[in-house]
């Protein structure tokens, strides 16, 4: 893993969101480390993997049909 360390780095050269709370004129130590890429999961790979909390397929379809009849 690649790691870059900069000691006595001028805080005013940091991006604004990283300078927050650091007194002006300060020096900081900056460490940058590469993160491994996140494993991406496609949504279609998740279909059918979870517990059905809405009832059986027939119950769900019946409920949808009842909702449509109310209109």
For 32-60, the pLDDT digits (tens) are: 999 988 888 888 888 878 777 788 888 88
Average pLDDT of the segment spanning 12-38:
94
Residue 65 lies in a domain: no
How many CB atoms neighbour CB 24 within 10 A? Answer: 7
Q: Which helix (H) or strand (E) holds 45?
A: helix 43-46
What's the number of domains the chain is made of? 1
Residue 60 lies in a domain: no
Within 8 A by CB and 6+ apart from 70, the residues are: none
Residue-range definition of the domain harbouring residue 4: 1-35
pTM of this structure: 0.50
Residue 48 lies in a domain: no
């Amino acid at each position: 893993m690649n790691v870059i360390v900069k000691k006595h780095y001028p805080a005013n050269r940091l991006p604004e969101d990283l300078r927050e709370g650091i007194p002006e004129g300060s020096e900081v130590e900056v460490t940058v480390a590469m993160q491994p890429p996140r494993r991406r999961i496609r949504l279609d790979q998740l279909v059918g993997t979870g517990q059905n909390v809405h009832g059986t397929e027939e119950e769900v379809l019946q409920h949808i049909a009842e909702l449509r009849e109310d209109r």
